[in-house]
Structure 1
Amino acid sequence: MADVILPRFYGCYNCRKHVALHDDIVRKDFVAGHRRRAFLFCHVMNMVAGPKLNRRLLTGVHMVADVHCSDCGEKLGWRYEKVYEDSQKYKQSKTVLEKFKIVKLNW
């Protein structure tokens, strides 16, 4: 009988609600505020987005929306709603989650 491989999830550090799959990481070398590590995901789940606003980030001004856990409301990162510079377009419609705000589940 073959071993079953379960998906590796990340959860909200506060309530452990599933928020992303490890396989959906696009890049692991992102930096959030105060030089904290962050991951860029192509897909997230169980999130609620806040209002869209233009924000100056390390790579320029982008239209972003903060994302919060749908269960406990904890802010976990942000979603790139609109990216203005061509070299940064790969970020559009993707979500950054701060590493210290997510925990590994099913690992």
Structure 2
Amino acid sequence: MGRLFIESISSTMVYKCKCCRVDLTSSGQIIDKNFQSKSGKAYLFNKVVNITLGSCEDRSFVTGLHTVSDIHCSSCHQLLGWKYVSEGLCGQSEIQRREVHS
């Protein structure tokens, strides 16, 4: 395995991994605080750092079928949530939004 590079965030309000406390995002990146996931309340963020991506898959949500990819902490590998992927073409698509569970 290669060297792990961790990005630090300079902000007054930083969201961190609850397991290893590595920086993930800042309050300025919040899109929606009233987002619900099957495990409870969740926040929707625009940009998240220090994550690794899982495989793309289609999942059924209240809003319909979406292509998503799980996101994990790059330091401790804790599952954080998922990101939405546009148009369902996993290998060639752009990230629309990322979500991190609270």
Which TM-score band (shorter chain)? 0.7 to 0.9
Report the counterpart of residue 16 of structure 2 in structure 1: 11
Q: Of residues 66, 74, 78 in structure 1, which corresponds to 2:78?
A: 74
Give unpaired runs (5+ residues) of structure 2: 1-9, 89-94
For the Cα contact (< 8 Å) 2:14–2:26, is it kept in 1? yes
* Percent of paired sites with the same residue: 31
The structure having more radius of gyration, on CA atoms, is 1
1:33 equivalent to 2:33? Answer: no
Deviations 1:48-97 (A, max 9, x none): 0100111001211000000000000000000001257xxxxxxx621111
1:6 Cα shift? 4.2
* Residue pairs, 1:15-94, within 5 angstroms: 15-34=20-39, 36-82=40-86, 93-94=96-97
Counterpart of 2:41, as a letter, is R
Counterpart of 2:73, as a letter, is C
TM-score using structure 2 length: 0.79
CA RMSD of aligned residues (A): 1.7
Counterpart of 2:51, as a letter, is M
Q: CA separation in 1, counterparts of 2:80 and 2:66?
A: 18
Counterpart of 1:57, as a letter, is F
Structure with the higher fraction of residues in helix conformation: 1
Structure 1 stretches of at least 4 aligned residues deviating more than 6 Å after TM superposition: none
Which of 1 and 2 has higher RCO (CA within 8 Å, sep 6+)? 1
